[in-house]
Amino acid sequence: MEKYRRHFLVCITNRPPFSHESCGPKGAADVLAKLQKGLDRKKLRELYGVAATGTTCLGLCESGPNVVVYPDNVWYGGVTVEDVPDLVDSHGVDGKPVDRLLHPDVE
């Protein structure tokens, strides 16, 4: 098993309509796909061990799509596909969190 230097976990939970909110219906799968493509295009996984994986609920459902990056312990909320290039270039390449996307409920 490959050990990642930096790992983006994107919540892609899909709950049924009329139940508790979830990230999936707000475009989380598209965020994950674009993030994975962006990391691949820059060879970040291959060269630097930076990866993105879908995951289940991160517990902040109302503000999704949510993304957490380990081992940095940086949380992002309300991420859209338009935000992905900044995540790849700033956090993925340079290791600098994207301040404007930081989750307001996580210190």
Number of residues near ligand FES (by CB under 6 A): 11
Residue linked to tokens 């995540």: 87
Q: Is 54 in the site for ligand FES (CB under 6 A)?
A: no
Element (H, E) at 69: strand 67-70
- Mask of contacts with ligand FES, 57-86, x by CB under 6 A? xxxxx--x-x--------------------
- Note whether 12 and 54 are within 8 A (CB): yes
Which residue lies nearer to ligand FES by CB, 44 or 58? Answer: 58
- The number of C-alpha atoms within 13 Å of 39 and in the hemisphere containing its C-beta is 24
Q: Given the rule CB under 6 A, which residues bind ligand FES?
A: 11, 13, 22-23, 57-61, 64, 66
